[in-house]
Amino acid sequence: MSQFIISVGREFGSAGRAIAEELAKRFNIPIYDRHLITEIAEKTGLTPEEVEKYNEAPKLKILSRRVNGYSNSIEDNIAEMQFEFLDEKAKSGESFVVVGRCAETKLRKYPALISLFILGDMEEKIKRVMKIYELSEEDAKSFIAKKDKKRKRYHNYHCSGHWGDSRLYDLSINSSRLGIDKTIDILEQYINSRINK
């Protein structure tokens, strides 16, 4: 396989982003995550902070509508721009890692796609979030629930499948079981097997 696209879906606190970043390093390919925000900001004239506000956010139905197939929802438009950007990259033959952005569904038509989902035990996710964001246990738990609810709503709005449903992904793995480093090793081995089959 000359081209390969690694899509990483993740639960908040599961170290999904850190895992994706390390996979990008190991395979020496670009990663598209927050980098997409800068790209979209340049195209729209919005600031990166404004794009971040609407990034991976479901639209507010009460304030939005479609006219002649076009949405007046900034959330919809930013999502569509990200999907188009990723589609262009995939069409170009580039290999890359993408975090979230419904990539396991939006890029499914490409044989190069390898879709992963990273989950974790709640206890471990809480510890990680407490450490990274300097939160209390209760605040960390609430933050995880809020972030995952937002991701789920965004994904399920833009895709027919349900966020986190193992049938959408080639491989789902619990990063709490082996720890982050060994999880990355297992994923690297799986990806190499797919590339070299």
Average pLDDT score, the chain: 87
Q: How many domains does the chain have?
A: 1
- The predicted pLDDT at position 46 comes to 72
For the domain that residue 191 is a member of, what is the CATH number?
Answer: 3.40.50.300
Residue 79: the pLDDT is 81
Does 66 score more than 60 pLDDT?
no
Look up the pTM and report it: 0.85
Task: Please give the order of strands across the beta sheet that includes 5-10.
Answer: 31-32, 96-99, 5-10, 113-119, 171-174
Give residue 81's pLDDT. Answer: 84
- What whole-number distance in Å separates Cα of residue 126 and Cα of residue 137? 7
**pLDDT confidence tier of residue 114, bands split at 50, 70 and 90:** very high
Q: What is the mean pLDDT of residues 173-177?
A: 97
> Is 58 a residue whose pLDDT tops 70?
no
**Residues 6+ positions from 109 with CB-CB distance below 8 Å:** none
Tokens standing for residue 87 = 């589609």
**What are the angstrom distances between the C-alpha of 182 and each of 78, 120, 156, 175?**
35, 14, 30, 8
Please compute the mean of the pLDDT values over residues 128-135 and round it to a whole number.
96
Share of the chain above pLDDT 70, in %: 86
- Identify the pLDDT of residue 70: 44
pLDDT, position 42:
74
* Domain range for 185: 5-195
State the burial class of residue 50 (Cβ atoms within 10 Å of its Cβ: 0-12, 13-18, 19+). middle
For residue 62, pLDDT over 50 is answered with no
